Chains A and B, each alone.
Chain A
Amino acid sequence: MEGFTNNAITTHSLPDLRTLPTEPISLAYRTYHIAATLMLVIPLLGVLSALRFNPWLSLPTFLQSAYLYVFAAVVILSVGYLIYAYLACVRIRYSLREHDLTLKKGVICKQVICQPMLRIQHVEIKQGPIDRFAGLAKLHVYSAGGAAHTFSIPGLEQVTAEKLRAYILEHKDLNAG
């Protein structure tokens, strides 16, 4: 019973998610995320145009007339997404406390997600080809809450991601619950 305390706690004296100091993810993430999106959209538009204008295969007329609409839809959606990504990427912030990890994100719909350390089942660092080129990494933290609720921080510098993983793995509460 040594060191045991049982002081009364009021809700207002609890550690608060609102006043939590957070740090941003890597600034490079926005650039590379936008670049990655463009690398997907531009070839897609190219394939669409190639199908429409190639001299070997002529499309049925209804597909020919649909081309413009599909092209316009892809462009509008991509531009919309790029604007959103431009605004959203810098709003992703995270925070590490003694007992939990927190992620704040969102432009129109703001989200604060908090993952207690002692419920973490395993940690994973994921790097796509672009991430590897940029020296970035994505940290995935799994709990028993299921795959749909995987806690993940994108756009971390590789060193930071590895440090975070090491911190989580060395945490004394890990696998305790």
Chain B
Amino acid sequence: MNNKDFPLMFERSKEGRTSYSLPELDIPDFDLDTEIESNYIRTTPADLPEVSELDIMRHYTGLSNRNYGVDSGFYPLGSCTMKYNPKMNEDVARFDGFSHIHPYQETESVQGAMEMMYDLQSSLKEITGMHEVSLQSAAGAHGEWTALMMIRAFHEANGDMNRTNVIVPDSAHGTNPASATVAGFKAITVKTNENGLVDLDDLKRVVDEKTAALMLTNPNTLGLFETEIIEMAEIIHEAGGKLYYDGANLNAIMGYARPGDMGFDAVHLNLHKTFTGPHGGGGPGSGPVGVSEELAAYLPKPLLTKKEEKYVFDYDRPSSIGRVKPYYGNFGINLRAYTYIRTMGAEGLKKASEYAVLNANYMMRKLQKEYDLPYDQHCKHEFVLSGKRQKKLGVRTLDIAKRLLDYGYHPPTIYFPLNVEEAMMVEPTETESKETLDAFIDSMLAIAKEVEDNPEIVQEAPHNTIVNRMDETLAARKPVLRYQK
């Protein structure tokens, strides 16, 4: 073990040390070992750590110090909406009456929880302009797939069995084509034009009687609003397809425009992005799905509804695609989103989008002096720079990202979207102050200067982190996926 290594929990383990506190056996004893056939009794115990409670706290406190969250500093990770996670949400999610309720309790004993869910559904319907919402999907990609399964069921119910294609822009998140495949469709790519928008001519070219749906993020992953959305909706609808809205970028338009009004038939939202459910180091998320009236019958079941002043789970939905998840969705994350929406209201949500867009445009204009801006127009909540200029000097976008670590920041999303060379995708969010934005801008400009004057310092970055660049090839070639003694 190297001096700089941080021990694994297993390396802290010592035979005989404990930190559990289990109840005593308060009933007459039973002899399990004679009751259970011997080959069903585990012979070697699962080798979990044997550590004290203080060991646990030191270990995880140490690990947390080797991690970086929004509370640690600025996190302009494009497409991920790393906004502040309100502390009140965390408190509310821990109320006993929310965190310690069982999904199979009699519904009369959980009316408060169901009221929250119903109210959240109503709020999300209003924000998106959709007819009906289900909270069952667990995350964004899960919501995408749920909606595609509904679109599939819709076409099949119409006897339209040959709609095998789902159209996805070349700038789309990887989950879009992956969800299309999992839902049994073929993903077809539509090109981006010179303005950074879906190429309408190419769309017309790929649309045909096989088109089941078009998946679209609006604003798109370049941070640009798809201004020809009405025409696109017409093209798809005329061909008999459905229009699907990936809600990854809803943070740009709350109160300014609604997917339902744009002609979308189905949407998913990322409550862990736009509505402050924390990202948790990768999850849990929540990906509710909203649909038009025409698709409502296909929503997953059960659907939470209200009947005679009582909240009920409606299982009697014969056209439903069925269950997409056990129980009723990620209630704990939905509750955090609900708390946020109630804190902000209509006015606050609109202001959030206003400032998200203002912040992005401000940064874009300040940074375009030193970095290439492939699409020079007002952006929405995020923008994409290209490191082409720096690449010519031998410094790659990856190097710039690593240098930002030395300046104390989480870097932007890099090498995405795929249609921009050496891409850097910056999303500041609305919860950052001007001082924070300015400090980040100064760092980015300083790095641009370093690239010109002293490229090695950028190429060899990071210099100040607890570990240097990792050997990822080794990790993939000789995978070590668990601790071995």
Whether A and B are associated in the same complex: the answer reads no
Question: Chain A: residues with CB nearer than 8 A to chain B?
Answer: none
